[in-house]
Amino acid sequence: MMNLNMSLAITTLMVWITTVLPSYVASQVTATTSATALSLEQEAKAILQSGWWSSYSNDTLQRCNWTGISCNDAGSVIEINPPSDVIKVGDKFKNMDFSSFPNLVFLSLNRHELNGTTEDFVINISSLSRLTHINLFSNYLYGRLSPRLGNFTRLEYLDFSSNQINGSIPVEIGKLKNLVTLDLSDNKLFGSIPSTLGKLTNLETLYLFCNSLNGSIPSTLGDLTNLEILYLSYNYLDGSIPSTLGKLTKLQSIQLTANLIQGSIPKEIGDLEALTSLQLSQNLLSGPIPHQIGNCFKLKLLNLSNNNLQGLIPNQISNISSLDRVDLRNNDFSGVVPYNFLEAMYHHPNISCYRIDAEIFGGHKNLATYSCSPVKKSYNLQIFLPLASFVALFLLGCLLLLWRHKVKVNPTSVLQATKNGDPFSMWNYDGKIAYEDIIAATNDFDVRYCIGTGGYGSVYRAQLPSGKVVALKKLHRLEAEEPAFDRSFRNEIKFLTEVRHRNIVKLHGYCLHKRCMFLIYEYMERGSLFFMLSDDVQAVELDWAKRVNIINSTAYALSYLHFECTPIIVHRDISSNNILLNSDLEAFVSDFGTARIIDPDSSNQTRIVGTYGYVAPELAYTMVVTEKCDVYSFGVLALETLAGKHPAEILSLLSAPSSLQNMMLIDVLDPRLSPPTSQLVAQNIVHVATIAFACLQADPKLRPTMKHVSQMFLSCQRSLSNPLRTISLLQLVNCGMHMEGSCQAPK
């Protein structure tokens, strides 16, 4: 009986499989296909009704190929990012039925002149549960920020910056647990910062600057352990800086400028080992600078000006060797300025030792002047500095007078050596390098010690008896007999004995004699930037952060030459061959053989010099050298550093920028490095590329100055509104053409 029942069951199952199941499956497939087709038809209808794409096509089947529209494999729209320079959505966006895009993930309508309330917008997109990216930067949205935003729990990027939004920040924002970037800057928001923001534990960038926010900074922000950027400047925040910020070990930049913040700077700031920028100026801070700030070894920018800070400037601040900008003006410091700090400032970029008072210590009662000879640690500056300054200036005047008459009288600085009865004069700043030491260290310039060739001589590595390693550039006898080489050699001596900057290679000394001429430089262990970029293994060592830093450092050095030197010095041969790297892969500008002083009373006409591929185009027809020639070369160098090779193809297309529309930035970056995963690194790359294109404008009058460039590197940068993969070179060119005080990354 059991066998009979089993046979019947098997027979019934086989009949169902062969007859019923195919019909059921077919009906389901048909239903699914119909639903998909209906959905795609709705999407197409919504796009056409909006009128956005009339300038492209009325063929809905081609919509996935339109610029600004991306679809999934099924043909459903997942990204809407229309180019604002081609299409202005404006009021048409009200016609869009966003419910027709159930699979939409990425929505970017920045700079589209949208006009309406944020509440209406959020209601319109309320059904889009898959959204991860909302960007409405720079429109005309107004009204309060809708609490309904808290329902979009998949959001990773939210940008409503540069609108007219008012009211308070809704506490519901704290529900967006996946948020990586929140940008509400440049609006009319008021009220306090909600403590619920501390729940956004994936947040990396928080921009709330340029609003009317008040109240204190919530201590819960200390729970944002992934935070890299915190910009709260230009509000009405009061209270104190919460000590909990010391827990944010990934924090790289803090900007609290222009608020009403009181109390002292918390000592926990010293726990922020990744910090590169600390800007607390224009507040009501009091008390001393905590000595723990000396633990922020990566700090580049420190601005504590215009506060009520008191007490001593801590010695530990001189431990921060990376400092590029320091401003402590308009405070009430007392006591002795640390000797080590003054000495360190002398070597800092873009700070002239004769202007330290004006640039840094404007409010220091006991610091009237400061000369290039640092004061001794044990003396009170109020008594010692006026006398020291007078003596230093007097001695400096005497030395300049002696130098003009070519009188060499300092036995520790001018060393005499004899070889075959001929006198050799060698200038040496510290009196510790003797001619005989150089000859012994190189075995009389044996080829075994030669490490390369420069523009007009061979370069040797020499280890002195003290253990110090130096580089020697030697002009060979035949080259010395050529007037052009001799002139370049003496030109380099002239400039490098007069300039002193952290990112310009240091000249230790030189020897001048018709039979033996050489320069003694600071030794750069890693060689030239060109050499490292040409080697696949070493190029990988230059990660994105190091490359950005190399470009920044070069900009600071050129700004110094153009604006801090009197008269102006133009390098004229900025290229990757002339950017040298030390053991820490820090950049130094070298090779001043073709440098030239700009005379405002002269035509400054010149022959074309420099490296092919870096020379500014106007030199070919004007033959007039200006500092804008260096700016162009810097732009080429910046792109080369990002691309890993000379950007010849890109340069050739700049005369017809429209051809760059389909060239994406991600595709021209050095393929030997992985694409950046950090939001901050990607932001820096875009910022550098934008500045580079600004420097490459054909009309030199439209290029920024190097001082402007160096300021832009320190300016407040907005976060990237679009993924790196979506940014074209044309966007960067357009942004570079309209750079003002600080061109923001393309949005």
Quickly list DSSP for 307-321: SEEEEPPPGGGGG-T
pLDDT band at 42 (very low <50, low <70, confident <90, very high): low
**Does residue 231 lie within any of the structural domains?**
no
Work out whether strand 212-216 and strand 236-238 pair parallel, antiparallel, or are unpaired. parallel
Kindly provide the b/e burial profile for residues 61-89, where b requires at least 16 CB atoms within 10 angstroms of the residue's own CB.
Answer: eebbebebbebeeeebbbbbbbebeebeb
Q: Please count the other Cβ atoms lying within 10 Å of the Cβ belonging to residue 12.
A: 10
Q: Rounded to whole angstroms, how far apart are CA atoms 213 and 451?
A: 59
- 496 shares a domain with 510: yes
Q: Which domain holds residue 497?
A: 432-522
Considering only residues 663 and 5, tell me which one the structure prediction assigns the higher pLDDT. 663
**Does residue 84 lie within any of the structural domains?**
no
**Does residue 190 lie within any of the structural domains?**
no
Residues in CB range of 269: below 8 A, 6 or more apart: 245, 246, 275, 278, 290, 292, 293, 296
Look up the CATH number of the domain holding residue 353. 3.80.10.10
Q: Rounded to whole angstroms, how far apart are CA atoms 151 and 173?
A: 9
Give the tokens for residue 36: 């998909």
409 near 394, Cβ under 8 Å?
A: no
Average pLDDT rounded to a whole number, residues 690-714: 89
pLDDT band at 264 (very low <50, low <70, confident <90, very high): very high
Q: Please, what is the average pLDDT of the chain?
A: 75
Q: Rounded to whole angstroms, how far apart are CA atoms 637 and 643?
A: 10
- 672 shares a domain with 610: yes
CA 329, distance to chain mean position in Å, is 25
Considering only residues 498 and 48, tell me which one the structure prediction assigns the higher pLDDT. 498
- Phi then psi dihedrals of residue 153, to 5 deg: -70, -10
> In the predicted model, is pLDDT for residue 648 greater than 60?
yes
> In the predicted model, is pLDDT for residue 483 greater than 60?
no
How many structural domains are present in the chain? Answer: 3
Q: Rounded to whole angstroms, how far apart are CA atoms 702 and 275?
A: 34
> In the predicted model, is pLDDT for residue 49 greater than 70?
no
pLDDT of 23 reads 46
Look up the CATH number of the domain holding residue 498. 3.30.200.20
pLDDT of 372 reads 29
> In the predicted model, is pLDDT for residue 44 greater than 60?
no
Give the tokens for residue 50: 């909006």
Torsion angle in degrees (nearest 10) through CA of 431, 435, 441, 446: 150
> In the predicted model, is pLDDT for residue 290 greater than 90?
yes
pLDDT of 477 reads 53
pLDDT of 356 reads 39
Q: Rounded to whole angstroms, how far apart are CA atoms 399 and 414?
A: 13
Q: Which range (65-74, 275-284, 330-339) has the least confidence?
A: 330-339
Q: Please count the other Cβ atoms lying within 10 Å of the Cβ belonging to residue 422.
A: 11
Q: Which long-range contacts (CB under 8 A, 24 or more apart) does 22-29 make?
A: none
- 732 shares a domain with 607: yes
557 near 708, Cβ under 8 Å?
A: no
pLDDT of 40 reads 57
pLDDT of 368 reads 30
DSSP, res 214: E
Place of tokens 């490359």: 547
- 615 shares a domain with 541: yes
pLDDT of 89 reads 58
- 703 shares a domain with 674: yes
Q: Is 509 helix (H, G, I), strand (E, B) or coil?
A: strand
Bridge partner residues of 108 (DSSP): 135
- 559 shares a domain with 490: no
Query: In 3D, which of 194, 322, 212, 292 has the Cα closest to residue 260?
Result: 212
Q: Which range (334-338, 424-428, 635-639) has the least confidence?
A: 424-428
Considering the chain, what percentage of its residues have pLDDT values greater than 90? 31
Q: Is 103 helix (H, G, I), strand (E, B) or coil?
A: coil
**Does residue 81 lie within any of the structural domains?**
no
Look up the CATH number of the domain holding residue 660. 1.10.510.10
DSSP, res 605: B
Work out whether strand 308-311 and strand 286-287 pair parallel, antiparallel, or are unpaired. parallel
263 near 285, Cβ under 8 Å?
A: yes
Q: Rounded to whole angstroms, how far apart are CA atoms 82 and 92?
A: 13
238 near 260, Cβ under 8 Å?
A: yes
Residues in CB range of 13: below 8 A, 6 or more apart: none
pLDDT of 31 reads 41
Tens-place pLDDT, residues 541-590: 999 999 999 999 999 999 988 888 777 888 888 999 889 999 889 999 98
Q: Rounded to whole angstroms, how far apart are CA atoms 31 and 369?
A: 85
Region class of 114: left (phi > 0), else alpha (psi between -120 and 50), else beta: beta
Work out whether strand 507-512 and strand 422-428 pair parallel, antiparallel, or are unpaired. antiparallel
Domain boundary among the residues 470, 504, 522 is at: 522
What does R_g of the chain's alpha carbons equal in angstroms? 32
Domain boundary among the residues 497, 522, 547 is at: 522
- 602 shares a domain with 538: yes
Give the tokens for residue 194: 């909600």
Average pLDDT rounded to a whole number, residues 451-467: 75
Average pLDDT rounded to a whole number, residues 112-126: 84
Amino acid at residue number 723: P
- 572 shares a domain with 628: yes
**Does residue 355 lie within any of the structural domains?**
yes
Bridge partner residues of 476 (DSSP): none
> In residues, how long is the chain?
747
> In the predicted model, is pLDDT for residue 3 greater than 90?
no
Out of 159, 223, 271, 573, pick the active-site residue: 573
Considering only residues 640 and 418, tell me which one the structure prediction assigns the higher pLDDT. 640
Q: Is 582 helix (H, G, I), strand (E, B) or coil?
A: coil
Tens-place pLDDT, residues 591-609: 765 555 544 444 444 455 5
Place of tokens 């918390």: 266
**Does residue 672 lie within any of the structural domains?**
yes
- Phi then psi dihedrals of residue 303, to 5 deg: -130, 105
- 728 shares a domain with 624: yes
For the chain, count helices (H), then strands (E): 19, 33
Average pLDDT rounded to a whole number, residues 158-177: 92
Tens-place pLDDT, residues 179-207: 999 999 988 999 999 999 999 999 999 99
Bridge partner residues of 427 (DSSP): 414, 510
Considering only residues 35 and 507, tell me which one the structure prediction assigns the higher pLDDT. 507
Active-site residue flag, 630: no
Domain boundary among the residues 370, 402, 421 is at: 370
Average pLDDT rounded to a whole number, residues 424-451: 65
**Does residue 382 lie within any of the structural domains?**
no
Give the tokens for residue 575: 């290229």
pLDDT of 668 reads 94
Residues in CB range of 595: below 8 A, 6 or more apart: 491, 492, 495, 569, 570, 571, 572, 573
> In the predicted model, is pLDDT for residue 510 greater than 50?
yes
Considering only residues 245 and 719, tell me which one the structure prediction assigns the higher pLDDT. 245
Kindly provide the b/e burial profile for residues 520-556, where b requires at least 16 CB atoms within 10 angstroms of the residue's own CB.
Answer: bbbbbebbbbbbbbeeeeebeebebebbbbbbbbbbb
Q: Give the residue ranges of the annotated binding site for ATP.
A: 473
End-to-end CA distance of the chain: 77
pLDDT of 182 reads 94
Work out whether strand 140-144 and strand 164-167 pair parallel, antiparallel, or are unpaired. parallel
- 554 shares a domain with 672: yes
Bridge partner residues of 301 (DSSP): 277, 325
Tens-place pLDDT, residues 661-697: 888 999 999 999 999 888 888 889 999 999 999 999 9
- 548 shares a domain with 495: no
**Does residue 179 lie within any of the structural domains?**
no
Residue 298 sits at the vertex; the CA angle it makes with 295 and 301, to the nearest 5 degrees, is 105
Residues in CB range of 256: below 8 A, 6 or more apart: 217, 232, 233, 237, 241, 279, 280, 283
Q: Rounded to whole angstroms, how far apart are CA atoms 561 and 567?
A: 9
pTM: 0.55
- 462 shares a domain with 362: no
Q: Which range (6-10, 135-139, 242-246, 559-563) has the least confidence?
A: 6-10
